[in-house]
Amino acid sequence: MKILIVIPALGSVYGGPSKSVVELAQALGTFGLSVDLVTTNANGSTSIDLPLYVWLSKKFYRIQYFPYWALSDYKISFSLTIWLFQHVADYDLVHTNAIFSYPILAAYWACQQQRVPYVVTPRGMLEPWALSYKPGKKRLYYTLFEKLALQRASAIQMLASTEAEGTKSLNIKTPLIIVPNGINYQEFENIPNTELFYQQFPCTRNKTLILFLGRIDPKKGLDLLATAFAKAHKEFPEIHLVIAGPDNIGFLATVQNYFMTAGCSDAITFTGMLTGAMKYAALAAANIYVAPSYSEGFSMSVLEGMAAGLPCVITTGCNFPEAAAAGVASVVDINSDQIANALIEFLKQPLQAKDMGDRARQFILENYTWDSVALKLISVYQDIIIKRHQNPVSLELGG
């Protein structure tokens, strides 16, 4: 089975989506699929410094980068467009990641012309909050391009049941499949020593650390976290908040002002983006993980926090009701008071908090690994390909 994965960009500054797509490609390849990944070399305000127009071989997949032209945050790549029209017919199925993006639009058109089935993963971009952010442009784009493309897809992958529920108002008739993100359990077997983190950020030593791991972005709820953390800090002055993530859109100054206004900026450390051993050292040093998001597809960082054995405070916007049902995370409404109260409860009862973290780790390792995710998607791919061979005209009709 030959699978082509398309994503607008894989730069490290894009956080969870980039990581999850690369790890998905690798997981699919371990089960014997022939997997190719194409993308642009975008990486925020810079470009990835890797060869273009050639296949770069990884352990279980190949990747090829194409140059792009930036129009605001829109990535236009004519060379990738030409390549897609020339080569999508070489594949049994195309799997796109993201929407409202030119490279994805080109993939839709190429698949439709060549009658190749495609699966769409919006990665949270059809969430009500996401659609309400800069709604004018999105409404026009959706009407002109995205709606018809989604209707002609063979399936739309939703990362969570709540994400699927959130799309009902769009009246999309395409089959929705729910397959979450996963983690590589090997990365959490031997987490680095905390000293690595303390040496880099000495002001965090001997503190009770609350960790936020994600992009500095309006949807991440850092305005709510500022108010919530300030409330918890008044009661527990020994706590310290670590905000670890890149600032792709120049939002950092606004976020810093949130904490200054809340009166707790002295107890905050902004680390920038953490990768590799330093990220895992931060997870090891942390006592509590917090994700106050307004909207997520399915957060990779929440999975990582839970897999690291941390008690987690997450909002309903993180789309993880299964964690609440299993009692392995404190899932609260998108509300600063509720976030604060959940943090305070963990701080008051550290033994119970640790127990929840231990159960969270076990829950993730049993249910959310890339191996299990890949097997579910392979089954979906097989069903679509079989259906295509049985009824090839259905692709023309959007069935």
392 — pLDDT class (breaks 50, 70, 90): low
The residue whose two tokens read 């605001």 is: 72
Mean pLDDT (whole number) for 377-384: 97
The overall average pLDDT reported for the chain is: 93
Question: Quick one: 312 and 386 in the same domain?
Answer: no
User: Looking at residue 171, which CATH number applies to its domain?
Assistant: 3.40.50.2000
Question: Quick one: 159 and 230 in the same domain?
Answer: no
Torsion angle, alpha carbons of 37, 43, 47, 48, to 10: -50
Question: Quick one: 227 and 360 in the same domain?
Answer: yes
The reported pTM is 0.85
365 — pLDDT class (breaks 50, 70, 90): very high
Decide if pLDDT at 72 tops 90.
no
Decide if pLDDT at 175 tops 80.
yes
Mean pLDDT (whole number) for 71-99: 94
Question: Quick one: 119 and 190 in the same domain?
Answer: no
The residue whose two tokens read 């959706």 is: 142
The residue whose two tokens read 């659609």 is: 131
Decide if pLDDT at 374 tops 90.
yes
pLDDT, tens only, 191-238 = 778 999 999 999 999 999 999 999 999 999 999 999 999 999 999 999
Question: Quick one: 205 and 298 in the same domain?
Answer: yes
Question: Quick one: 130 and 204 in the same domain?
Answer: no
Question: Quick one: 273 and 358 in the same domain?
Answer: yes
CA distance 109 to 138: 19
Question: Most distant CA pair in the chain: distance in Å?
Answer: 66
pLDDT, tens only, 27-45 = 999 999 999 999 999 998 8
Q: Could you tell me the sign of the dihedral formed by the alpha carbons of 226, 240, 325, 190, in that order?
A: positive
Number of separate domains in the chain: 2
Q: Could you tell me the sign of the dihedral formed by the alpha carbons of 379, 380, 383, 389, in that order?
A: negative
Question: Quick one: 256 and 345 in the same domain?
Answer: yes
Residue 82 CB neighbour total at 10 angstroms: 13
Question: Quick one: 85 and 169 in the same domain?
Answer: yes
Q: Which residue has the higher pLDDT, 398 or 187?
A: 187
Question: Quick one: 142 and 191 in the same domain?
Answer: no
Q: What region does 263 belong to: left with phi over 0, alpha with psi -120 to 50, or beta?
A: left
Quote the domain boundaries for residue 253. Answer: 186-367
| pLDDT at residue 393, as a whole number | 54
| pLDDT at residue 399, as a whole number | 42
pLDDT, tens only, 274-314 = 988 999 999 999 999 999 999 887 888 999 999 999 999 99
Question: Quick one: 101 and 212 in the same domain?
Answer: no
Mean pLDDT (whole number) for 84-92: 98
CA distance 286 to 278: 12
Q: Which residue has the higher pLDDT, 127 or 330?
A: 330
Question: Quick one: 44 and 100 in the same domain?
Answer: yes
Cα 349 to chain center, whole Å? 31
The H or E element containing residue 326 is helix 321-326
| pLDDT at residue 396, as a whole number | 46
Q: Alpha helix (H) ranges present in 222-291?
A: 222-235, 252-262, 276-285
CA distance 218 to 229: 17
